[in-house]
Amino acid sequence: MTESKITVYGTDWCGDCVRARHILDGRGIPYEWIDINRDAEARRYVVQVNNGYRSVPTIVFQDGTVLVEPSNAELEAKLGAA
């Protein structure tokens, strides 16, 4: 497996964030976790990317694509293509 740079923006209390991280961890895929409740710059980025909303998880892939609140199937499909 080649190392991919994935950044996951989220919050500790977000169930969708926990689910997305579980998928990444289960596949052994390295990623950077950024809690937007603790990082104001990251929070501003998420709001900018999501047209004024703090939608999490916001997942940014090495190729520049972004998935926001992906379903398991959407995330698995993207990881399969990576």
Q: Is the pTM of this model over 0.85?
A: yes
Torsion angle of C-alpha atoms 72, 2, 63, 10, degrees rounded to 10: 50
Q: What's residue 82's pLDDT?
A: 63
Residue 76's closest CA among 36, 33, 26?
Answer: 26
Is 3.40.30.10 the CATH number for 7-81? yes
Residue 42's closest CA among 8, 16, 5?
Answer: 8
**Residue spans per domain, the chain:** 7-81
Q: What's residue 3's pLDDT?
A: 54
Per-residue pLDDT of the chain (82 residues; tens, 9 = 90+): 345 599 999 999 999 999 999 999 999 999 999 999 999 999 999 999 999 999 999 999 999 999 999 999 999 999 997 6
- Burial level of 21, CB count in 10 A (0-12/13-18/19+)? middle
How many CA atoms within 13 Å lie on the side-chain side of 14? 21
